[in-house]
Structure 1
């Protein structure tokens, strides 16, 4: 994560993904759109070939329901990229002490640590209900931005069984405790 990406994350309050990571993150949206796309292709081919097939009563549902589902999935996945923000006057050393404690508590594997940001991931057991999470923390003046999403380097997952929320909330609660 370079300074330009970090700046964009801060400005948009949203985790910035590479093109491949976007495909991975929004895979469920793309998958939900396959039926309507195939439906449109089929109708277009019929139109080109001048093949008349009467529309069935349920045709609209085959088209509309997956479009609605994909729109809802898009909104859900988009929301997951938003950062949670916590204000603090702690020094970077104090923050990293809290990061280390939280990492130990939640089983984070820290991948990158710098004065501007931190990335970590988890490698949970098979029975945990999650393939793993990807944690991003960005440090700005008097603010910390926190995000946890399903790990984009592992199998696609729509649910983390509450682990993403737990990653964010535990870290934020630890920062808030240290502020007092």
Structure 2
């Protein structure tokens, strides 16, 4: 797939441009009402971009406008993106919800984590809600694996949700 996505009119992709305009108006209204300082909205279909708009400012206390390349911290919203990626892997037969994480990440079984499954992680029942992966590990695969494998559960998998 090409990046950036080629652009197309909403109608050529079977989308209703009036509904996309309404979505943009809702984002603008939320910004005007102070729910958030800025946002980006993108809609694609069939590998083509029908809408990509930026709204407002990056932060409440700074007037730097949101632009096409602006990056936002997603915090807990990354869970949704991760879950969607996991579903794609499951659909493609590359992963099962019942798979042990240690089957895919050798060494993860350390500290009694050998029976923790994909669904345990997705449903917040793996037993280590306060685990922290240091920022210096984020862009180093070996260090990231080492940090994840070093996590010590606070309780046995499946016994609590947190």
TM over 0.5: no
Task: Identify the TM-score tier after normalising by the shorter chain.
Answer: under 0.3
Point out the structure with the larger helix share.
1
TM-score for both structures, normalised by structure 2:
0.23
TM-score for both structures, normalised by structure 1:
0.21
